[in-house]
């Protein structure tokens, strides 16, 4: 799994806009504060939560983990978030097609942008 710098920046914006997150096994996180001493098997500072208890205790608990780690939702997680925000699958499909996201290889970024536009902290909904 690899995330672009643009996707990482957009994930920061999602956090700023108030996207709620509870760390869970299977989540990808970006170590913004270089808390992990071991190198990542993915890309620099990108980790996958596999051993939840060990990860939480290493960082200092769940609340501290949420402060120092940035959640990078996968495509599937982004779709779940959009559904929970009331964005229909049809609307997502149209946006991806209109933006030529598959051809441009930026589908995840478009999903992140749609999440940002749908969060209450954004203030504007794109219909």
According to the model, what pLDDT value does residue 124 have?
Answer: 47
pTM for the complete prediction?
Answer: 0.89
pLDDT tens-digit profile of 56-100? Answer: 998 899 999 999 999 999 999 999 999 999 999 999 999 999 999
pLDDT of residue 123: 52
Q: What burial class does residue 103 get, using C-beta atoms within 10 Å of its C-beta: 0-12 exposed, 13-18 middle, 19+ buried?
A: exposed
Query: Which sequence spans correspond to the domains of the chain?
Result: 5-121
Report how many helices (DSSP H) and strands (DSSP E) the chain contains, helices first: 7, 3
């Amino acid at each position: 799994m690899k995330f672009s710098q643009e996707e990482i920046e957009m994930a920061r914006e999602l956090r700023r806009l108030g996207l709620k997150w509870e760390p869970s096994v299977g989540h990808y996180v970006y170590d913004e504060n270089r808390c992990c001493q071991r190198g990542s098997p993915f890309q620099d500072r990108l980790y996958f939560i596999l051993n939840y208890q060990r990860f939480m205790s290493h960082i200092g608990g769940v609340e501290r983990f949420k402060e120092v780690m940035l959640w990078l939702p996968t495509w599937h997680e982004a779709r779940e978030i959009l559904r929970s925000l009331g964005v229909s699958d049809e609307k997502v499909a149209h946006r991806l097609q209109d933006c030529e996201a598959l051809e441009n290889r930026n589908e995840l970024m478009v999903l992140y942008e749609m999440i940002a536009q749908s969060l209450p902290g954004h203030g504007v909904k794109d219909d």
